[in-house]
Amino acid sequence: MSRNRRIRGSVKNYVVSAVIGSIPILVANWRQTLWPLLAVTVALVAVQLITGSIFMLALRAA
């Protein structure tokens, strides 16, 4: 039981340190990382809008 908790705690610490370690890299390369993130966000929103409108049309047709 305690061993399981220790493993989970070390995994959490690893994730936190990885996130904190990646922040300077992201800040240094924010010009390169910003556009893909923006493109992915726009694409997701567009897909949601398209699928939502298709879904509404299907509901209206049925």
Q: Helices (DSSP H) in the chain: which residue ranges?
A: 2-28, 30-61
Q: In this model, does residue 1 exceed pLDDT 60?
A: no
The pLDDT, as a whole number, for residue 50 is 86
Q: How far is the C-alpha of 17 from the C-alpha of 53, rounded, in Å?
A: 42
- 18: closest CA among 10, 29, 7? 10
The pLDDT, as a whole number, for residue 18 is 83
Segment 8-51, tens digit of pLDDT: 778 888 888 888 888 887 777 777 777 888 888 899 999 988 88
pTM, full prediction: 0.39
Q: In this model, does residue 54 exceed pLDDT 90?
A: no
Q: How far is the C-alpha of 46 from the C-alpha of 29, rounded, in Å?
A: 26
The pLDDT, as a whole number, for residue 13 is 84
